[in-house]
Amino acid sequence: MTPPRTTDFASYIHEPDNRDLDHIPGDYGLPVIGHTLRLINDPFIWAQEQHQKYGFLSKISSIGSRAVLAVGPDLSQQIFTDKGDDFSSQMGYRLRVARFFPGSLIMEDFERHLHQRKILQTAFKPKALKHYTNEVNHIYDRALQEWDADAGKTIPFFIYIKELLLEVAAEIFIGETKRGDRVQQLNQAFMDCSNGTVHVFPLNIPGSALNKGLKGRAFLEQFLGELVPKKRTGDSLDMFSHFCREKDEDGNFFTDVEIVNQMMFLLFAAHDTTTAAITHTIYYLAKNPEAKEKLYQECKALGKDYLAFEDLSSLPYMQQVFNEVQRLRPSAPMLPRRTVREVEMAGHKVPAHTLIFLVPRFTHHMEEYWTEPSKFDPDRFSPERAEHKQHPFLFHPFGGGNHKCIGMHFAQMEYKCFLHKFILKYDFKAQHKKEPKMLTVPIPKPADSMPIQLIKR
Ligand code: HEM
């Protein structure tokens, strides 16, 4: 195995992106905007067309950047496992993330990344997760009691769940338990910041998404920064407090700036992804009443009002539903990297400093592996069928390798506790006027915010 070669290539972060991709199959799309519109419209369809024309690796371009698109499980494996420290996450994400979350986990590479990740890991250990599980259940209880007022009515589910998960973020991540103006301001700043990162046009002018995002970021930075001293000396069990108290092997705390940056990215990485996962689940269950009934019966058979940490692995069908929704509509639709040095990929020499994009949904739909790939069929993940086990990187909604989602277990806990409580309390029916367009940008969701009729059981 190639030993890590981080330090001798540390200069890669100062190099401009490589634009010389003429020897790689593909095209650069339209003048100036390249493939941007197709990419925004539906990265999956676009990736399928690219693959059909050019194979697993093809050159592409989008507003000012040239890159390669890498699809299929073999390239995912090569990039995620990254045996030779060939792929930089920092340089892949820098265009969107650097301005908002410098120094965050996804903006670190190799040894420094591992070091930071080790410190953050404490907030995700079973003991911490157990505590979050209890807290999350209280928040859901409170919220669903309020939702009772809407029983019988049609609600925009996406908006409801987005707001509810913001409450979870404020309480569990930051420890802000009192609702009111302060939390409202925090949530607004967070949403502006989050929308800012997915701006399509990089214009920092008053009123633009980027401009609002940067203002939101400044607010969050101050808000969180002011809390650090209190959290360091306190004994709260929210995630932020964990980071504030955690020390490295030399006994040093994270610096205030490091904590705030890590925390802001964590909020961002957690929120839209989980919101999308739950919204898409409601969409598919509403369309598939048999699956909805099967899930309801499984939750009922467990005989609990709420899921304790120990129960999280006791709902195998719910796990299959989660997996199937992530297969069909991965919450993280495109993942970027940049090569640190020249790398051989799918038989082509990809030069150093080349941007790469992965589209997990392409791999999640390959007909060579999946039976009727566009069909919602949770049983494909059953132990008997286990279609996902044909290749170690055929199904990777949480990524893989060193940057694999650190919040994977938290996300599934948040998802399962909600779905369990929700489905035991309510039946629901989709109320779309017509089949909605499924958006990927700015975040994956049905375009009509998923109207459902809430029916109390
Ligand atoms: C369904 C929900 C979620 C999905 C599908 C998801 C997906 C992902 C993916 C694909 C990556 C890898 C990105 C890459 O390699 O480029 C990732 C990284 C990450 N996720 Fe998640 N995520 C989810 C929820 C969460 C939650 C709840 C948290 C925090 C509590 C979180 C925190 C992070 C962080 C910090 C990273 C960066 C890890 C690193 O660079 O080492 N995510 N996530």
- For 217-259, the DSSP string reads HHHHHHHHHHHHHHHHHS---SHHHHHHH-B-TTSPBPPHHHH
- Burial (CB count <10 Å: 0-12, 13-18, 19+), residue 284: middle
Note whether residue 115 is domain-resident.
yes
Q: Indicate which CATH number applies to the domain containing 107.
A: 1.10.630.10
This prediction has a pTM of: 0.96
pLDDT of 333 > 90? The answer is yes
pLDDT in tens, 146-175: 999 999 999 999 999 999 999 999 999 999
Say how many Å lie between the CA of residue 145 and the centre of ligand 1.
30
pLDDT of 431 > 50? The answer is yes
Structure tokens at 412: 């599934």
Mutate to test the pocket of ligand 1, among 398, 409, 412, 415 (most ligand atoms within 8 A of CB): 398
Q: Which domain holds residue 400?
A: 7-456
pLDDT band at 28 (very low <50, low <70, confident <90, very high): very high
Mutate to test the pocket of ligand 1, among 197, 273, 440 (most ligand atoms within 8 A of CB): 273
Say how many Å lie between the CA of residue 2 and the centre of ligand 1.
27
pLDDT of 16 > 80? The answer is yes
Say how many Å lie between the CA of residue 332 and the centre of ligand 1.
8
pLDDT of 95 > 90? The answer is no
Which pLDDT belongs to residue 1?
A: 36
Note whether residue 318 is domain-resident.
yes
Q: Looking at ligand 1, which atom is closest to the CA of residue 399?
A: 10
> What's the structural domain count of the chain?
1
pLDDT band at 9 (very low <50, low <70, confident <90, very high): low
Q: Looking at ligand 1, which atom is closest to the CA of residue 106?
A: 40
Protein residue whose Cα sits closest to atom 12 of ligand 1? 399
Q: Looking at ligand 1, which atom is closest to the CA of residue 337?
A: 16
Mean per-residue pLDDT for 271-276? 96
Note whether residue 95 is domain-resident.
yes
Q: Is 106 in the pocket of ligand 1 (CB under 6 A)?
A: yes
Q: Is 117 in the pocket of ligand 1 (CB under 6 A)?
A: yes
Say how many Å lie between the CA of residue 336 and the centre of ligand 1.
13
Note whether residue 407 is domain-resident.
yes
Q: Which long-range contacts (CB under 8 A, 24 or more apart) does 101-108 make?
A: 101/261, 101/264, 101/265, 101/268, 102/261, 103/257, 103/258, 103/261, 103/262, 104/261, 104/262, 104/264, 104/265, 104/266, 105/262, 105/265, 105/403, 105/406, 106/265, 106/269, 106/403, 107/265
Q: What are phi and psi of 199, to 5 degrees?
A: -55, 145
Note whether residue 1 is domain-resident.
no
Q: Is 275 in the pocket of ligand 1 (CB under 6 A)?
A: no
pLDDT of 6 > 60? The answer is no
Mean per-residue pLDDT for 106-127? 92
pLDDT band at 64 (very low <50, low <70, confident <90, very high): confident
pLDDT of 374 > 70? The answer is yes
Which pLDDT belongs to residue 98?
A: 84
pLDDT of 329 > 70? The answer is yes
pLDDT band at 201 (very low <50, low <70, confident <90, very high): low
Mean pLDDT of the chain: 93
214: nearest Cα among 232, 197, 235: 197
Q: Is 397 in the pocket of ligand 1 (CB under 6 A)?
A: yes
Note whether residue 251 is domain-resident.
yes
Residue appearing with tokens 């989660």: 322
Which range has the worst mean pLDDT, 89-98, 191-200, 311-320? 191-200
Going by their DSSP bridges, the two strands 451-456 and 154-156 should be labelled as antiparallel
Note whether residue 328 is domain-resident.
yes
Note whether residue 268 is domain-resident.
yes
Which pLDDT belongs to residue 2?
A: 41
- For 37-49, the DSSP string reads HHHHH-HHHHHHH
How far apart, in whole angstroms, are the C-alpha atoms of residue 363 and residue 375?
15
Q: Is 405 in the pocket of ligand 1 (CB under 6 A)?
A: yes
pLDDT in tens, 224-263: 999 999 999 999 999 999 999 988 888 888 889 989 999 9
